Amino acid sequence: MGIIDDKSGLDNLIKNAQQLQGTRTVPFGDMFPDRFMRQYTNFAAIEEMFERGGFKVESDADFEAIPQADLDRVVAGNTQFRSWEDMLGKAGEEYALRQLGLG
């Protein structure tokens, strides 16, 4: 029986979808779990990507200070993605599926 084959599974899916609504800040480790990083990048963790890319990221402000072109260059050279936006988009999809209980 699948998640939508019974009423409780559908109720859980609806509840989880409602929790995803709105704008939220998601920690890097939740958005880019180690499993994601190992599957799609040459890094074991998002922190390793930042460190090896020469970025010191200890706060949101540190991350926001990284020039987009520099981040895109690290992503394009070490991942299956062409840019940070592409990587973030895939991570967001997988995060949403995990939060819905489907991934």
The pLDDT assigned to 16 comes to 45
Domain boundaries, the chain: 27-100
The pLDDT assigned to 21 comes to 54
10 — pLDDT class (breaks 50, 70, 90): very low
Single-letter code of the amino acid located at 97: L
Q: Give per-residue pLDDT as tens, 64-95.
A: 999 999 999 999 999 999 999 999 999 999 99
| Local structure of 3: helix, strand or coil | coil
CB atoms within 10 A of CB 15: 11
pTM over 0.85: no
User: In the numeric block, which tokens belong to residue 87?
Assistant: 């990587």
Whole-angstrom distance, CA of residue 8 vs CA of residue 13 = 9
CB 26 within 8 A of CB 95: yes
User: In the numeric block, which tokens belong to residue 11?
Assistant: 């109720």
Q: Give per-residue pLDDT as tens, 22-62.
A: 555 889 999 999 999 999 999 999 999 999 999 999 999 99
The pLDDT assigned to 43 comes to 98
